[in-house]
Amino acid sequence: MSTSTPLKDPETAPTPTIAPPNQSEVSPAPVAPVKTQRRKGRKQFSIGFALAAAVVLVVTMWALFPGLFTTADPIAGDATETFLPPSAQYWFGTDHLGRDLYTRFVYGTSQTFLTAGIAVLLGLIIGMVFGIAAATWGRASDTVFMRFVDVLLSVPPFLVALLIVTTSSPGPLSLGIGVGIAAIASFARVTRAEILRIRNLDYVEAAFMNGGTYFTVLRKHVLPNALGPVLALVTTELGVAILLISSLGFLGFGAPPPQPEWGLVISEGSQYMASSWWMTTIPGIIIVATVVSLGVVSRRLLAWLRV
């Protein structure tokens, strides 16, 4: 036996009334300071992004057009001008052979960025293939590819790159391959996560119901919407690759002397840190600023490109 509560007659039911608020009890609206803080935060973030983008732009110009920024020879030196501190003539000072460190660092950017580009491109291509296969080829392929990715993630990227470089002849190509293999895991995980997020959306199901094939739906609907975070990761991995390449170049696995390279420049100056601090400090600061700036740019790109 069920009981029901009788409905009240709307004509006889009392009409609730809302008393007007007491103006003396109403505190000033907190919206203004919140907006001010948000605008201030946006302004600070914009300034930080502008500075980071400027650093990335300058370093990229160094890599592409080093002759526009210096006319000196990065290899030839003057024996009468060794160990000169930074000045208006030599912005980064000179080294033990009298070579202009600013010129060597600018020309070394091309070698470092070329090796980092090879590494990121290799990691991007193989990582995306692994991520697509793991997300769309079934549970067995997901287990196989992701276990391989887990193995790569369990080993520090520096050790992976060092293992690959030491088993082959040292040089920019082997260095780029070693760092690129270490970057596969990050691209594979991000690609897999984005495809798994997108493939269950309504428009993807509708594309399959309208007769779309696997490759057609993947090419037209899934990949274009999953590329945003992957492209943002490219910028971050470029910074990681630069850091790894500089570290391995410091150990002597990069370009052979006297060819300039970021890691080699710091390695040559490490022997004179006690008397000539500028040979390692200034290049080190620029490398750190470049890596941090790439991270800031990557975060903004991720905010712009995420669906």
Architecture of the domain delimited by 42-305 = Orthogonal Bundle (1.10)
Kindly tell me if the per-residue pLDDT of 21 is higher than 50: no
247 membership: H or E segment, kind and range: helix 223-250
Tell me the CA end-to-end span of the chain in Å, nearest whole number. Answer: 54
**Is the bond leading into 172 cis (omega within 30 degrees of zero)?**
no
Q: In the numeric block, which tokens belong to residue 182?
A: 């270490």
The share of the chain scoring above pLDDT 90, in percent, equals 51
For tokens 């950017």, the residue is 109
For tokens 């009788």, the residue is 6
Q: In the numeric block, which tokens belong to residue 251?
A: 């150990």
- pLDDT single digits (tens) 244-255: 999 999 988 888
- pLDDT single digits (tens) 61-88: 999 999 999 999 999 888 899 999 999 9
Separation between Cα atoms, residue 169 and residue 66, nearest integer Å: 28
210 falls in which pLDDT band (50, 70, 90)? confident
Q: Where are the domains of the chain?
A: 42-305
Contacts of 55 (CB under 8 A, 6+ apart): 289, 290, 293
21-42 mean pLDDT: 46
pLDDT at 97: 92
202-215 mean pLDDT: 82
Among 29-38, 148-157, 296-305, top mean pLDDT goes to 148-157
pLDDT at 23: 47
Kindly tell me if the per-residue pLDDT of 50 is higher than 50: yes
User: Which residues are bridge partners to 100 per DSSP?
Assistant: 94
**Is the Cβ–Cβ distance between 136 and 218 less than 8 Å?**
yes
pLDDT at 24: 46
Taking Cα atoms as reference points, which of 257, 260, 263 lies closest to residue 241?
263
57-64 mean pLDDT: 95
pLDDT at 306: 62
**Is the Cβ–Cβ distance between 226 and 191 less than 8 Å?**
yes
Kindly tell me if the per-residue pLDDT of 139 is higher than 80: yes
pLDDT at 257: 83
25-47 mean pLDDT: 49
115-142 mean pLDDT: 93
**Is the Cβ–Cβ distance between 176 and 119 less than 8 Å?**
yes
**What 3-state DSSP class applies to 94?**
strand
Taking Cα atoms as reference points, which of 277, 241, 292, 235 lies closest to residue 262?
241
Dihedral sign (CA 253, 258, 262, 263): positive
User: Between these two residues, 57 and 256, which has the higher pLDDT value?
Assistant: 57
- pLDDT single digits (tens) 261-289: 999 999 999 989 888 999 999 999 999 99
- pLDDT single digits (tens) 151-200: 999 989 899 888 888 888 777 888 899 999 999 999 999 999 999 988 88
